[in-house]
């Protein structure tokens, strides 16, 4: 892992010139990138996710129909050459809605993950570096939190706070915070025992500086893996909450919401349910393949 060079260098009296450290870091990064490009798992996952990212960004220009446009004459039409994925109960084009549906989930899930990472890294650095009773209390609290079915927690909070995408981001982000913090904490526990941290302490660097500038750059590997895995869960959670009617509301083309609406028509219009469900599966599996690919490359 990328931790070795710097810790060894920092242990040498007098240290190494900063530009050498930077050069080594760059070389390491190039090597990792090459590893990822050669990883079949990563590339397949990246391709699957790329399709949906492009859809989310460009759906306005790609979709053959307006995803919101109602067409009362052509309701519940089976897939055909004019409507590849058929039409829904309001005559909206399912293909266009599937393409446009990448946008809401790829907005909510990354933002929720970013929020969780921000909180989790901060909390993980603090508890891992300072240890002590705060750390003990925190660990107990996380254990208690994990005893609770998280989806029920989310349902409770969303029903009270109000059902909106913003609240979905907040709920997922806050639930992720202690989970990510736990991973970061265990990485910090290993790093803080290394010589470069001792050297920094001897130089008189303060805690916050050591955490952010010494330890954090050396634990980017586990954080990247954790972040990608969490992104997969965030997509899972955001879609599920939308399906339960707790997130974004109709007429949004969100996939979870589409499946929920399709439920009542499943016996006469299976295409309404199956295509958004397939879209979601490919996105989730893609993100998980990426996470798996990164993990393997970092472990090598």
Partner 1 sequence: MGRYILKRLGLSLITLVIVSFTVFAAAEVLPGDVARTVLGPYASQQQVDQLNHKLGTDQPLVKRYLTWAGDFIKGDWGTSPILNVPVRPLVLDRLKNSLILAGFALLLIVPISVLLGVLAALNYGGAADRIITITGLSFVALPEFVVGTFVIVIFAVHLGWFPVSSSVPDANPVDIFQQLLLPSIPLMFVLFGYISRMARVGTVESLRSNYTRTAVLKGLPQRQVVGRHVLRNSLLPTITVVSVQVGYLVGGLVVVETLFSYPGIGQLILNAAVSHDLPVLEPAVLMIAIIYLVANFIADVLVAVLNPRVRLAT
Binding site for partner 1 (CB under 8 A): 144, 146-153, 155-161, 232, 236, 239-240, 243-246, 256, 259-260, 262-263, 266-267, 270, 273-274, 277, 280-281, 284-285, 287-288, 292
| 207-to-127, 217, 298 alpha-carbon distances in Å | 12, 15, 28
Q: What is the smallest separation between the CB atom of 30 and partner 1, expressed in angstroms?
A: 29
Smaller CB separation from partner 1, 105 or 216: 105
Smaller CB separation from partner 1, 6 or 113: 113
Note the Cα 213 to chain centre separation in Å: 24
Q: What is the smallest separation between the CB atom of 33 and partner 1, expressed in angstroms?
A: 24
Q: What is the smallest separation between the CB atom of 5 and partner 1, expressed in angstroms?
A: 31
Q: What is the smallest separation between the CB atom of 189 and partner 1, expressed in angstroms?
A: 22
Smaller CB separation from partner 1, 218 or 252: 252
Q: What is the smallest separation between the CB atom of 281 and partner 1, expressed in angstroms?
A: 6
Smaller CB separation from partner 1, 21 or 274: 274
Q: What is the smallest separation between the CB atom of 246 and partner 1, expressed in angstroms?
A: 8
**CB burial of residue 291 (10 Å; 0-12, 13-18, 19+):** buried
Smaller CB separation from partner 1, 142 or 216: 142
**Assigned token pair, 187:** 């990485």
Q: What is the smallest separation between the CB atom of 25 and partner 1, expressed in angstroms?
A: 31
Smaller CB separation from partner 1, 62 or 156: 156
Smaller CB separation from partner 1, 129 or 236: 236
């Amino acid at each position: 892992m990328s931790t070795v060079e710097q810790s060894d260098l920092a242990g040498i009296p007098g240290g190494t010139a900063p530009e050498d450290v930077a050069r080594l870091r760059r070389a390491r990064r190039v090597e990792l990138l090459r590893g990822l490009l050669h990883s079949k798992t990563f590339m397949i996952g990246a391709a699957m996710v790329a399709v949906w990212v492009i859809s989310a960004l460009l759906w306005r220009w790609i979709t053959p129909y307006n995803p919101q446009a109602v067409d009362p004459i052509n309701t519940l039409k089976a897939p055909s050459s004019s409507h590849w994925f058929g039409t829904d109960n309001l005559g909206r084009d399912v293909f266009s809605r599937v393409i446009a549906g990448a946008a809401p989930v790829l907005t909510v899930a990354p933002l929720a993950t970013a929020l969780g990472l921000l909180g989790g890294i901060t909390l993980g650095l603090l508890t891992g570096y300072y240890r002590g009773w705060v750390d003990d209390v925190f660990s107990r609290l996380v254990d208690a939190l994990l005893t609770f079915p998280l989806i029920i927690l989310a349902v409770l909070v969303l029903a009270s706070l109000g059902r909106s995408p913003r609240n979905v981001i907040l709920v997922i982000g806050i639930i992720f915070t202690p989970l990510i913090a736990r991973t970061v904490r265990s990485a910090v526990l290993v790093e803080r025992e290394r010589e470069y941290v001792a050297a920094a302490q001897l130089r008189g660097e303060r805690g916050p500086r050591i955490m952010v500038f010494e330890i954090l750059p050396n634990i980017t590997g586990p954080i990247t893996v954790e972040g990608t895995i969490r992104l997969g869960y965030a997509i899972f959670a955001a879609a599920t909450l939308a399906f339960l009617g707790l997130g974004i509301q109709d007429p949004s083309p969100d996939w979870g919401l589409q499946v929920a609406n399709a439920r009542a028509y499943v016996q006469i219009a299976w295409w309404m349910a199956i295509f958004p469900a397939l879209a979601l599966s490919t996105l989730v599996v893609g993100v998980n393949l990426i996470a798996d690919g990164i993990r393997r490359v970092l472990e090598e």
